[in-house]
Amino acid sequence: SQQGEEDPQALSIQEGENATMNCSYKTSINNLQWYRQNSGRGLVHLILIRSNEREKHSGRLRVTLDTSKKSSSLLITASRAADTASYFCATAESGNTGKLIFGQGTTLQVKP
Amino acid sequence: EAGVAQSPRYKIIEKRQSVAFWCNPISGHATLYWYQQILGQGPKLLIQFQNNGVVDDSQLPKDRFSAERLKGVDSTLKIQPAKLEDSAVYLCASSLGGGFFEQYFGPGTRLTVT
């Protein structure tokens, strides 16, 4: 079953612009993770934010988490053509094995 | 550090045939996962191993899919017999322990069932 719902499903922007993707989930979580997948390849971990954290940064990435609204956002600043990929949020539910449940993903296209 | 290795990268079989995928995780990673990713969707967990024990296989179609993890290291995923709807990318991932850590993914095996 898919827990995360991502919005938008697809996003197209110009190089240099910022890209924002949102993720909503349904149950209590231990952490939320974001992954990137380039066409035809495996997923690459971007960032992990724990349930007691509200914001986290990594280079040009900024992730926020609002556990009261059960939502997260991923912001990519000053986007580059190389950022073109699919982005997935994944939630690790509280109190279990910590299995990750992935959303459907947002496809980002950055035009040069 | 070597990444997660998977083979084969591509496989085409006819329905009702059998197929096997192999995965070698990152050295020292206790947890190994197999995911199925259908085109246009996010990965769906099929089975999670902790060392050589199964932690979660709730979404594994056990009438046709089986998996094992040998000596807590390499793993194989088998489908027998395959159906058309099994066409997907099968991803293997490993982590230090459960969903509380980041997962490292292999390149995947693209299966086409005709």
Distance from CA of A10 to the nearest CA of B (A): 11
Q: How confident is the model at residue A99 (pLDDT cuts 50, 70, 90)?
A: confident
pLDDT of res. B15: 97
Task: Tell me the sheet residues that pair with A29.
Answer: A93
Q: How confident is the model at residue A14 (pLDDT cuts 50, 70, 90)?
A: very high
Q: Do B56 and A33 touch (CB under 8 A)?
A: no
pLDDT tens-digit map of A38-82: 987 889 999 999 999 999 999 999 999 999 999 999 999 999 999
Q: Do B98 and A97 touch (CB under 8 A)?
A: yes
The interface residues of chain B toward chain A in range 47-76, judged by CB-CB distance below 8 A, are 48, 50, 55-56, 59
Q: Do B45 and A100 touch (CB under 8 A)?
A: yes
Q: Do B100 and A92 touch (CB under 8 A)?
A: yes
pLDDT of res. B100: 78
Assess B36–A contact: CB distance below 8 Å, yes or no.
no
Asked whether residue A96 carries a pLDDT value surpassing 80, the answer given is no
Q: Which range has the worst mean pLDDT, A13-17, A30-34, A40-44, A87-91?
A: A40-44
Q: What integer best gives the mean pLDDT of chain A?
A: 92
E strand segments, chain A: 5-7, 10-14, 19-24, 29-37, 43-50, 55-58, 61-66, 71-76, 85-93, 100-102, 106-111
pLDDT of res. B112: 98
A–B CB contacts, 8 A cutoff, strictly below: 72
Q: Do A104 and B42 touch (CB under 8 A)?
A: yes
Q: Which residues of A touch B1 (CB under 8 A)?
A: none
Q: How far is Cα B51 from Cα B29, in angstroms, rounded to an integer?
A: 8
Q: How confident is the model at residue A1 (pLDDT cuts 50, 70, 90)?
A: very low
DSSP letter (8 states) at residue B32: E
Q: How far is Cα A104 from Cα A89, in angstroms, rounded to an integer?
A: 8
Residue ranges for chain B with pLDDT beneath 70: 1, 98-99
